[in-house]
Amino acid sequence: MILFPAIDLKDGQCVRLKLGDMDQATVYNPDPAAQARAFEEQGFEWLHVVDLNGAFAGETVNGAAVDAILKATRNPVQLGGGIRTLDHIENWLSRGLARVILGTVAVRDPALVIEACRKFPGKVAVGIDAKGGKVAVEGWAEASELGVIELAKKFEGAGVSAIIYTDIDRDGILTGINWPSTLELADAVSIPVIASGGLASMDDIRRMVAPDAHKLEGAISGRALYDGRIDPQEALDLIRAARKS
């Protein structure tokens, strides 16, 4: 069980969006590398990074900020947003990423994801972002007719290291993780699932370490960490205790 602190990048700065809307961005740190160092010093073991501009552009936009993050922290880093080709994947892994997250391309070209898993074992995660139960793509700007579990099952046995499942309707508004949908997905596939979108308080951390959630790889926290609604030490202590039980 891992708590992944999130750094979302917009125009080179660390921000949080509300409901995935680029016009509703709050800047939390103009120096993403300093934020990465701070998370490591607090005791976090991983870092979740999203190139928000890249997700809309279909290519890396905040590359300089990501490179600075990779230099600033010893923690493994996973990155999503605008990674759409095998060349993109290979380039980022060569620059020191622990894992890439493929979202839009997982819908548009599932065969590419399967090929990427074959070429880069253990280094490829799939991001499934849902609005009203349907998968959204292109930086959440476009809805598909594909169901979450339907998409996830396409990658069973392919070697996907994790599925990062985000409920867009809850993202950035601190209403709590959509636990029923997240656990339903985790029950439906053998691929480890990471919960994302709406983590709001220590109640979500306590829910995350409940016995029926042990099947999850972890959860991602953004705004609740930045706003102080989650105490990093208390949260990490709860998670460590759950690992021992």
Say what the pLDDT of residue 197 is. 82
Say what the pLDDT of residue 22 is. 79
Q: Is the dihedral of CA 204, 209, 214, 218 positive or negative?
A: positive
Q: Catalytic residue at 23?
A: no
Q: How far apart are CA 245 and CA 242, in angstroms?
A: 5
Q: What band does 99 get if pLDDT is binned at 50, 70 and 90?
A: very high
pLDDT tops 70 at residue 217: yes
Total Cβ atoms within 10 A of residue 13: 18
179 closest CA partner among 196, 162, 161 = 196
What value does the mean pLDDT take over residues 129-149?
A: 72
Q: Please state whether beta strands 47-51 and 77-80 pair in parallel, antiparallel, or not at all (unpaired).
A: parallel
Buried b (16+ CB within 10 A) or exposed e, 47-72: bbbbbbbbbbebbbbbbebbebbbeb
Question: Which of 8, 51, 171, 204 is the catalytic position?
Answer: 8
Q: Catalytic residue at 8?
A: yes
Q: How confident is the model over 55-68, as pLDDT tens digits?
A: 888 889 999 999 99
Lowest mean pLDDT, pick from 35-39, 132-136, 161-165: 132-136
Lowest mean pLDDT, pick from 6-15, 141-150, 166-175, 216-225: 166-175
Q: What percent of the chain has pLDDT over 90?
A: 71
Say what the pLDDT of residue 144 is. 64
Tell me the pLDDT of the chain averaged across its residues: 90
Say what the pLDDT of residue 153 is. 95
Question: Which of 51, 129, 171, 204 is the catalytic position?
Answer: 129
Q: How confident is the model over 162-174, as pLDDT tens digits?
A: 999 988 766 555 6
Say what the pLDDT of residue 16 is. 84
